Amino acid sequence: MTFRFHPEAAAELTDATAYYESQQPGLGLEFAEEIYATIFRVLRFPDAGNPLSANTRRCLASRFPYGVIYQVKPDGLRILAVANLHRRPGYWKRRE
């Protein structure tokens, strides 16, 4: 199975990576690695994420307060958001 980012989700990943890197050198890379590890976990077990709606699920990152919000589509995984869990719940719903 393949995956693709919604453009806003890709921007969220880039912005959060830059933020963590600005806080401590190397932390941005660790954050990005954790998000990609979460995505690869979802690729292996796409139905394991917590359901948020009929077609949308969330898988939590292990070390950072982020979740990967995704949908399983016939052509692969669609990542709607790399969501900070401490901010604006549900903001990504317009991306469905």
The CATH number given to 3-87 is 3.30.2310.20
Tell me the pLDDT tens digit for each residue of 43-72. Answer: 999 998 999 998 999 999 999 999 999 999
What confidence score (pLDDT) does residue 56 get? Answer: 95
How do 76-84 and 3-5 pair as beta strands? Answer: parallel
> Using an 8 Å Cβ cutoff, are 5 and 83 in contact?
no
pLDDT single digits (tens) 6-34: 999 999 999 999 999 999 999 999 999 99
- Please give the model's pTM, rounded to 2 decimal places: 0.92
51, β-bridge pairs: 57
pLDDT of residue 88: 84
